[in-house]
Amino acid sequence: MSAPAAGGPNAGPNAEPNAAGPNAGGRAVVTGAASGIGAAIARRLTADGMDVLGIDHRACPGIDHRVVDLGDLDRVTGLAAELDDERPTDVFVSCAGMFEGQASADLDFATYDRTLRVNLHAPVYLMGRFAARMAGRGYGRIVAITSIHARMSEPTALAYDVGKGGLDAAVRTVAIENADRNVLVNAVSPGFVRTGMSIVDGEDELESAWFKDHYLATGRLPTRRAAEPDEVASAVSYLVSGGNTYVTGASLTVDGGLSARF
């Protein structure tokens, strides 16, 4: 039996990625690239040698980008094919997300529905479509930014928890469906990160007395500090790199030990 082609089915650690593979001028598509973690990922992958295309509902400073509302599922349909037809995509990172707090008893269906469209439905659809394109070429890397909310919950975070938990599950399914075509699919699960999402009612919760007393002073957050977006981007950088030849279907937690604490 002849060996599988480089970058093809079941490619091992010595396989070469396709000519446009990661860290060699390949194409990466990053959603949520206008700010926060997504912007940090876009910067890091650019520094890694990739040609990054940002997708966001706002402009993405400093990189090629498309303004797309991922809550508009009619627009999302066909987006992966549109972008991949322009240039084959080697890496897809789903980072776009939103949070609007609501208690379950006060659930507003319109807000719940929009949260799931942005945080779950669009990412799942795009992962599946990009994975299929990558599988046809025998190489690809996909990372979804989920959250420790995928397995830990708090009051008023129902829609966010449901979306992140569902996305974490979808990562596993897409991973096992495409692993034999050298398409590796993983999640990165952050905890507290210094981004705009930590601003609540005009105040930074990471600077609040509540956060400092509840998480830092007590050591409930073992590192006693929140993560910087670049630290999450570092985890993504490895998972989408040519150096990752076997990790798939995994969720890498980047939370400073928060979820390890009893």
Catalytic residues: 160
235: left (phi over 0), alpha (psi -120 to 50) or beta: alpha
Q: Which amino acid is located at 236 in the chain?
A: V
Beta-carbon contacts of residue 113 (< 8 Å; ≥ 6 apart): none
Q: Are strands 27-31 and 64-67 parallel, antiparallel or unpaired?
A: unpaired
**Are 34 and 59 spatial neighbours (Cβ–Cβ below 8 Å)?**
yes
Beta-carbon contacts of residue 118 (< 8 Å; ≥ 6 apart): 70, 71, 96, 97, 98, 163
Q: How far apart, in whole angstroms, are the C-alpha atoms of residue 212 and residue 219?
A: 10
**Are 173 and 131 spatial neighbours (Cβ–Cβ below 8 Å)?**
no
**Are 56 and 67 spatial neighbours (Cβ–Cβ below 8 Å)?**
yes
